[in-house]
Amino acid sequence: MTKKLKKIDSRLAGLIKKEIERQKFTIDLIPSEAIAPNEVLEVLGSPLINKYSEGGIGRRYYPGNKYIDKIEDLAKKRAKEVFGLGKNWEVNVQLLSGTPANLAVYFGLCNPRDKIMGMSLFSGGHLSHGHPVSLSGKIFNSVTYNSGEDGYLDFDHIEKIAKKYKPKIIISGFSAYPRKVNFRKFYQIAKKVNAYHMADISHIAGLVAAGVHPSPFRYADIVTTTCHKTLNGPRAAIIFYRKELTGKIDKAVFPGIQGGPHNNKVAAIALSLKIAKTAAFKNTMKQIVRNARALAEELRKYGFNLITNGTDTHLMLVDLRNKNISGGDAEKMLEKAGILVNRNSIFIDRKPYNPSGIRPGTVSVSFRKMKEKEMRKIANWIADIIDKKRNPTEVRKEVVELCKKFPLPY
């Protein structure tokens, strides 16, 4: 925090300082949150934010975009490199976030009221995959599939729904699915009903980039991703699309649903993709999965039921029904101890506000360099608080000590 900011707006500077302190001394198990490096923060706070550059490279609606063009080109090239893509793929890096990225795909490929098909929110899909409260469900005719009762994707069921409704787009990719996704099966079903297959890899993009999770690119027509989850970059998103869709997607992004791109974000995407190619990033992705497995195994030892009994990824879904506590109450109790875990629906739920599960993940703690030993300690605290009703404020002191040993970079 600069002295100047404190002088101009001491109230705001104080609140930012408090939020940074909160981050430093809490264990963040929210699987969609990461710890963007200081250099990414530096680029986000750069004067690139001052520039308007509606349009694309070499065809802007404003002058003065010589360097912005080069920065956007760098981001696009790196996006393709990180995921090993050749000439048959194009990329748009102007998306402000994941929800507009998904909307741009629907607007680019569908007409209003056309059918899109994604996983229901209660089974682990995202709001932007056609939920009725989202524009994706208000403008398009949304049909949903569920996970099987064992928590795994049920491809017979998915095929049945696809054949019944013949959607224009079938969406794979989820917010709360703990297992590897078989993108080939989605592709095969999509081809049978002449649908596009869109894979939303927002949660797992970093794992895919590091080769820790199977890549969807061979089996998808469009791939969307946020940049701020496992990819550990700015709050922004990318759309990859097959070359034959050129025109449709870019036009849907601008002028369809967005105005000028946020050039600071585009540049921060370029930087985070460079970092994603390093050995250090790949090692962190591997550790994220090892940590998730360790946390899952330890939670199971304490009698917690996990959907699919475990995880292959960065997150797990804990079914709390046998612990006689709701996801919302567990979230509140753990927050008092400085352990952030978000409540999450499991397949029997129909009310997202106070569902029966929680969704711990290991992204942030792994970027903090915690390992399996710390995961076992965290599981022990979760069990102490939820099962043994240990006073969370007592646990809080121990949490602060652990956080001090694994400092944040800022």
Ligand X SMILES: Cc1ncc(COP(=O)(O)O)c(C=O)c1O
Catalytic positions are: 52, 54, 200, 226, 229, 235
Q: What 3-state class would DSSP assign to 302?
A: coil
Report, in Å, the least distance between residue 208 CB and ligand X: 13
Q: Which is nearer to ligand X, 235 or 371 (CB)?
A: 235
Query: 145-172 burial by CB neighbour count: b if 16+ within 10 A, else e?
Result: bbbeeebebbbeebbebbeebebbbbbb
Report, in Å, the least distance between residue 32 CB and ligand X: 5
Look at the block and give the residue holding tokens 């899109």. 116
Q: Which is nearer to ligand X, 121 or 273 (CB)?
A: 121
The torsion defined by the Cα of 159, 161, 166 and 169, in degrees rounded to 10, comes to -80
How, if at all, do strands 169-172 and 196-200 pair?
A: parallel
Tell me the residue ranges of DSSP E strands in 246-381.
305-306, 318-319, 339-340, 343-344, 357-358
Query: Three-state SS across 101-115?
Result: HHHHHHHHHCCCCCE
Report, in Å, the least distance between residue 300 CB and ligand X: 25
Q: Which is nearer to ligand X, 128 or 345 (CB)?
A: 128
Report, in Å, the least distance between residue 115 CB and ligand X: 19
Q: Which is nearer to ligand X, 175 or 263 (CB)?
A: 175
Nearest to 203 by CA among 193, 213, 211: 213
Q: Which is nearer to ligand X, 204 or 402 (CB)?
A: 204
Report, in Å, the least distance between residue 106 CB and ligand X: 13
- Please tell me the distance from the alpha carbon of residue 106 to that of residue 103, in angstroms, as a whole number: 5
Q: In this chain, which residue has its C-beta nearest to ligand X?
A: 98
315 with 361: CB under 8 angstroms?
yes
227 with 213: CB under 8 angstroms?
no
String of DSSP letters for 173-211: --SS--S---HHHHHHHHHHTT-EEEEE-TTTHHHHHTT
Residue numbers at the binding site for ligand X (CB under 6 A): 32, 97-99, 126, 128, 173-175, 200, 202-203, 226
